[in-house]
A and B are shown apart, each in its own frame.
Chain A
Amino acid sequence: MDRNRLQHQVACMRRSLFDQGYLDEPFIQLEELQDDANPNFVQEIVTLFYSDSARLIQNIEHALNSRPIDFDKLDDYMHQFKGSSSSIGAKKVTNECTVFREYCSAENAEGCIRSFQQVKQEYAILRRKLEVYLQMVRQAAVSRTA
């Protein structure tokens, strides 16, 4: 693919991730941490985000399936998930985490279960889009050095 066209596609996709509210400013900060000394920083840290998120999602699911539900433990897990989501700039995921925590503090089990579905959905969407975006970024980087 033509190098300029590839760069254009990368830039367009990046802009749409921000314009559609999937990412916000912390992701820019994260990108700025990548340099010649850390050329794969973004991919590495996003991969770490995926693995941490998978662990937390599993913990939350387990906690939601337990009876009685331990809302304090649930809140702690979601607190952690919100922390990492907000730090990567995952805006929609972070917003859904906030909704979940409101149901959690009200000890509303049904609300927690419903909102957790939203959290997982937004996380899955973001992950898919980020994977595509970063794949394109890697291709663009290869084409620059070719």
Chain B
Amino acid sequence: MAQALHSGDQGADEANSGNGGQMQKPFTFNEIVLRNRLTALVVDGDNFCRLLEQGILQAYGLETQSVNNGHAAVELIASGAKFDLILIDMLLPVLDGLEAVLHRRHEHDKRQHRYCAHDVAATRFGKNKSILLVGQWIMISRSVFYHLFLWQATRRIRAMGMHCKMLGVTACSGERDRQAFLAAGVDVFVEKPLGPEVLIPVLRELDGQYPSV
């Protein structure tokens, strides 16, 4: 399918031969040919990443839609849209709770890492956490707060009964965030860039779920 920029011409062949020049590993989207119609949703706040991820999935043969924030993703699924695969970025604008955290944090003493929040439904106790109920305010340490409020889009999508495959993507993250994102509802944790070594096995699995046409 691709009109590769680097192939086919005499000049290109000469440049890539002799002199011990190293050929880049050839890449093709034809490594998997889908037997079934598969649909995907890309949720990424970064324009470039969203376009690229959507392009990659389309190149593999999926019908894709994309949105640029968590709220839009939830609204789309709440409207009845169904997807076989959702690619969702770990840091989303709107509805992942992070913006709300950052906004409210400016009102408090950052050095003590105290955060105030309304509507906290759950509290946890453990190492490095301190929870203090003051009237309707709850003071929670930074790490616990983030993991309670992040990934709201992912949690809500799962809460609505969407059981499709979800790939959580991120530039990089620590093990704690990885486990917490998995616990929030993604099936696979993927570090960017999104490559065939992750996608192809997932697509084979999804394609095998349906009877051959």
Contact = CB atoms under 8 A, between A and B. Distances in A.
Partners in one complex: yes
B46 A52 contact: yes
Nearest to B98: A76
A29 B5 contact: no
Nearest to B27: A28
Contacts of A5: 11
B6 interface: yes
Interface stretch (A79-87, A108-116, A117-125): A79-87
Interface stretch (B74-82, B125-133, B189-197, B201-209): B189-197
Interface string A65-88: 000101011001001101110111
A7 B9 CA distance: 7
Contacts of B172: 79, 82, 98, 101
B48 A48 contact: yes
Contacts of B100: none
B91 to A, nearest CB: 6
A33 B91 contact: no
Contacts of B52: 30, 33, 45, 87-88
Q: Which of A3, A73, A83 has the most CB atoms of chain B within a 10 A radius of its CB?
A: A83
B121 to A, nearest CB: 23
B159 interface: no
A18 B59 CA distance: 23
A131 interface: no
Contact of A32 (B2, B16, B49): B2
A86 B193 CA distance: 6
A83 B15 contact: no
12 contacts: A25-B195, A29-B195, A30-B52, A33-B55, A33-B59, A72-B102, A82-B192, A84-B48, A84-B49, A86-B192, A87-B192, A87-B193
B11 A80 contact: no
Interface of A: 3-12, 14-15, 18-19, 25-26, 28-36, 38-39, 41-42, 45, 48-49, 51-52, 68, 70, 72-73, 76, 79-80, 82-84, 86-89, 97-98, 101, 137
Contacts of B56: 29, 33
Q: Interface of chain A, helix or strand or loop or mixed?
A: helix
Contacts of B107: none
A20 B2 CA distance: 25
Given A28-B25, A31-B4, A32-B2, A41 B46 contact: no
A96 to B, nearest CB: 13
Interface string B20-34: 011011011100000
Given A19-B22, A86-B171, A31 B5 contact: yes
B183 interface: no
Given A14-B5, A72-B102, A137-B5, A80 B46 contact: yes
Q: Which of A5, A19, A41, A101 has the most CB atoms of chain B within a 10 A radius of its CB?
A: A41
Contacts of B196: 29
A63 to B, nearest CB: 11
